[in-house]
Structures are given as C-alpha cells and as structure tokens.
Chain A
Amino acid sequence: MKDFLLIFRNDPGLMPQESPEEMQARMKKWMDWIGNFAAQNKLIDRGNRLHTAGSVVKPGNIVTDGPYTEVKELIGGYTLVKAESLEEATEMAKNCPILLVGGNVEVREINPM
C-alpha cells in the first residue's frame, strides 16, 4: 500500500448560497465519502478544510495576503488515503463531493523522506 494526498480545489466564487439544510446535506456527502475509505481501512487522515484567508511568502521578504476568493482553483481541503496504486487512488477520488460543485481533486503519491 502507498500513501496518497488528495487535494480538493474549487472556485469559491461558484459556491452557491446554501440553506442550513443544503449545507448539512453537502456535509453528509463528505462524511459518507470519507466514511467509505474508513470502512475499507484506507483512510490515513481525514484531513481538513482550509480557510480562504492566508498568505504567501516569496523570496525577498515579499508577502502577499489572502483571502484568495478571486482565485479560480483554491485549495479548499485535503485528505490522506492508502491505495495499491495511483490508478486505485484516482478511482477513489472519482466520487469526491467536490466534483458536484465544479471543483476537482488532485491525487498525488506521497514520496516519504
């Protein structure tokens, strides 16, 4: 088994205004999706969502501040899973709820130090 990082990206501008019920329904999809990996004993770390606020540090003491709400592909969260291969990990990412709101998942194999 290898470890993979799933990186969720979406366009915050496309996120619809949600009622509490809609938000709960969306959270349920995430919980069930993560729960599927946990039930297969393939979840390493559920990971987390990320706030839109942040900063980027560049050489020469240049710091750019967020929020990055205007960025089209903002990293919104991440999860760590186990899989036999990149193909399997990619297959696992195909049901990710981020795809339902126009986002995408980047699947990267962890290269341990």
Chain B
Amino acid sequence: MMQQQELIPHLFRTEYRKITAVLCKLFGIEHIEIAEDIVSDTFLLASELWGHKGLPENPAAWLYVAAKNKAKDHFKHDAIFNQKIVQQLGYLSPKTDEIEIDLSEKNIHDSQLQMLFAVCNPVIPPEAQIGLALRILCGFGINEIAAAFLTNKETINKRLFRAKEKLRQEQVKIEFPGNNEINKRLENVLTTLYLLFNEGYYSAGQNITIRKDLCVEAMRLTHLLTESALANTPAVNALLALMCFQSSRFEARTNQTGETILYQDQDTRLWNRELITKGKHYLNIASQGDKLSKYHLEAGIGYWHTIKTNSPEKWENILQLYNQLLQIEYSPIAALNRTYALAMANGIPEAIVEAEKLDLKNNHLYYSLLGELYLSEDKTVAARHFNKALQLAHSIADKTVIRQKLKQCVL
C-alpha cells in the first residue's frame, strides 16, 4: 500500500485531471477556473482531513463525492451562476439536487477527449496549448509546468490566464468536433501532442523526471485518442508508434551524471523492447489507411533506428523516408538528418556536396554535421567545423557532446 505522502500527489495527478475535465465540461470553457478551484479545494480538504483521521477506505471515491458536493454547493451559493449559467446549460429547473455530476468512467473519458480538442486550438499559441493540456489534462502543478518550460511560475500563470481568457473570448466549445471538421481539428491536437512529446524528449532541461513525465503524458493522451472511434485514425496510430520508438531509448541516452550518450554509443540492452514491440503494433495499424502523414514517415524512421546494426538497407530506407518527409514539411533538423542518411546510403563525398548547399549557417547542428562528415576525410577541417559548432551551441549538454567530438579530431 502506498504511503499517504506518496498517495496524495499520485491521486492528485490521476484524479485531479479526471474530475477537472468532467467539471470543465459541465461548466463550459468560460468557467474553467471555477472547475479548477473546486478540484483544488477538494484536494486541500482531503490532505487536511486525511492528515488528521487517516485515509478513507476508497480515497478516489471519497474525492468524487467531495468534489460533487463542492460543485453542488457552488451552484447553490452562486445566485448569478444559478440564474444565468445553469439555464444556459439547459437545465429546466436550476435546483441543485437535479444537477447531475457524472463521474462515470465513460464520462471522464469523453470529457477528457473533448477538453483535449478544446485546449488544442490554434486560437492560442502552441506553448499555451501545451501548458493548459499539462495543467487540466495531466494534472501538473504550475511549478512542474514552469520546470518543463525552463521558466518561472509567474510566466506560466500569466500564460495560462491569457490562454483561458482567449478561449473564453472565442467561445470555444467543449465538445467532439463534427464529422466534417474532425480531420482538421485532429491535426491540431496531434501537432500539440507531438510538441509536448518533443518538449520532453529533446528539452535542454536537466530534470530527467519532468522530461520523462512529459513524454509519458503525451503518450497517454495520444493513446486516449486511439480509444475513441472518432479519433482513432492512422495518423494518430503513427504518432503513437513514433513516440514508442523514440522513448524506447530514453534510459539509454543519458549516463548517471545526466550527460548525453549518442545513439551509436548506446547500450542496446537498455533499449525498452516492450515499447519497440508496441511501436510496431501501432505502426501496423497506422499503415491501414491511404493517407501518408508526416507521423507515418517519422515513425518509419523511428522504426529503422530501433535496429542498431548499420546496413545498406537500413540507411537507404531512412534516406527515402527523409526525402518524403521533407516534401511534406521542411524543417532544418530533418534536412540535417537527411544529409547524414545521404552520407550513410550514398557515401560521404556526395553528402558533403549537399551539406554545403544547406543554408543553416546559424545552426550549431549544421556545423556538427559537417564536422561528423569530415571526420573520416580531413580531421583539420572537421575540427574547424566542430569549433564553429561549439561557438554556436547554447546548452551544456550540446557543448559536452561537441567537445567529445573535438577530441576525435586530434591527429
């Protein structure tokens, strides 16, 4: 049995997000704060009461009852709320007894999905979408969100406040999108979940626990989409496959002191086989559609990276996947990775010619790539590129990696 000091934060994460989603759905986007306050009050009450009297038999059920009562109290005491909002909600009689707060598994599930669609809305900036998703759908504290974004509480509070304000102004509805707009809306949701995952996977932050949590949460929310008949599209499965393949290397890519271990130096025994198997499973499902998304291509690349042994087949496949990916959506990182794949598939001289045509001269990764390509050709030139990369790199982790590469340039 979990100790109380562990249980409350754990319940806070899992139950906070469930109850908040249901109450947000009930109150509407204009009253997210009321929903949040009610849930926060409930947990405050729980931690006080449980501290004195010990844990109730079923803590989750206790929280549901307490939250329901607080919500009903709110309806009772807030006259304006009764007159205006409850009527808007469609209740014939605003009697508090008749307000049904449905905390069934199905309604929790539906409410979370509907909130996901409401929050991942391009009327608010991507980092605000991620922040709100972390707060409302993942039950993260403001401190944790601040740590994830490498910023402070005030910035996050302001960002979330503005985002909620904007959602209110735009009168965003907490509901499932209609059939004719589902694909467009789903695209937004996937973009946000992809960014949330990347925030955890590639962040410069040193807090490994927070970073891992972000990846886990992105995967949980993506998985939530696969459980819904409406949203279980090939692209969603492709994104989930990509996340599985990437996160399978989570344990292998940092050492005890938190330094980055590059792919080729990783101990494959630390790769998570279960996640790789899951990734293949979702990639199989993803391949059933007729639309090729960028997530399909990235998941394909991710799949080939789960095979560490270099082979012409591996790199030829990765190169062609990058060729296609760049046609769907250009990004500097994809261009650089594609050029590395070109070197592995077609040889270093051809890749150097193409690398020098890339206009990415303010990107430290560009010079790291050139350094890497020149390592076997000309160590002096390689060193010059790595030194340039070192000048442009910001994070300690990046600089450490580049310094290690510079050591390989010594003749």
Q: Which of A35, A40, A41 contacts B323 (CB 8 A)?
A: A35
Q: Is the interface of A mostly helix, strand, loop or mixed?
A: helix
Q: In the complex, what residues of B have CB within 8 A of residue A28's CB?
A: 316, 320
The interface-forming segment of B162-170, B216-224, B334-342 is B334-342
Name the B residues within 8 Å of A31 (CB-CB).
320, 323
A41 to B334, CA, bound (A): 11
Q: Which of B80-88, B231-239, B351-359, B377-385 contacts A (4 or more CB under 8 A)?
A: B351-359
Closest to B332 in A: A41
Residue in B closest to A30 when the chains form the complex, CB atoms: B323
Greatest chain B CB density within 10 A among A31, A32, A34, A43 is at A32
By the criterion CB–CB under 8 Å, are A34 and B327 in contact? yes
Please indicate the chain B residues that have their CB under 8 angstroms from the CB of A32 in the complex: 319, 323, 342, 346
Contacts of B194 in A (CB 8 A): none
Q: Is B75 an interface position by the 8 A CB rule? A: no
Given known contacts A32-B319, A34-B327, A40 and B338 CB-to-CB distance under 8 angstroms: no
The count of chain A contact residues (Cβ–Cβ below 8 Å) is 12
Contact B327 A46 (CB under 8 A): yes
Residues A40 and B319 in contact, CB atoms below 8 Å apart: no
With A31-B320, A32-B319 known as contacts, the answer to whether A41 contacts B327 (CB < 8 A) is no
Q: Are the C-beta atoms of A39 and B327 separated by less than 8 Å?
A: no
Contact between B323 and A34, CB atoms less than 8 A apart: yes
B residues within 8 A CB of A39? 322, 326, 334-335, 338-339, 354, 358
Q: Does B327 contact A40, Cβ atoms closer than 8 Å? A: no
Assess the B357–A40 pair: CB atoms within 8 A. yes
Q: Which residue of B lies closest to A46 (CB)?
A: B327
0/1 interface trace, chain B 304-321, chain A, CB 8 Å (1 if under): 000000000000100110
Within the assembled complex, what's the spacing in Å between the Cα atoms of A41 and B327? 9
Q: Report if A110 contacts B (CB, 8 A).
A: no
Do A40 and B359 touch across chains, with their CB atoms under 8 A apart? yes
Q: Are B354 and A43 in contact (CB under 8 A)?
A: no
A12 to B356, CA, bound (A): 35
Interface residues of A (CB under 8 A from B): 28, 31-32, 34-36, 38-41, 43, 46
Instruction: Give 9 new A-B contacts, CB below 8 A, not counting A34-B327, A38-B327.
Output: A31-B323, A32-B323, A35-B342, A38-B326, A38-B330, A39-B322, A39-B338, A39-B354, A43-B327
A-B interface, 3 closest residue pairs, ranked by CB to CB distance from nearest: A35-B323, A38-B326, A39-B335
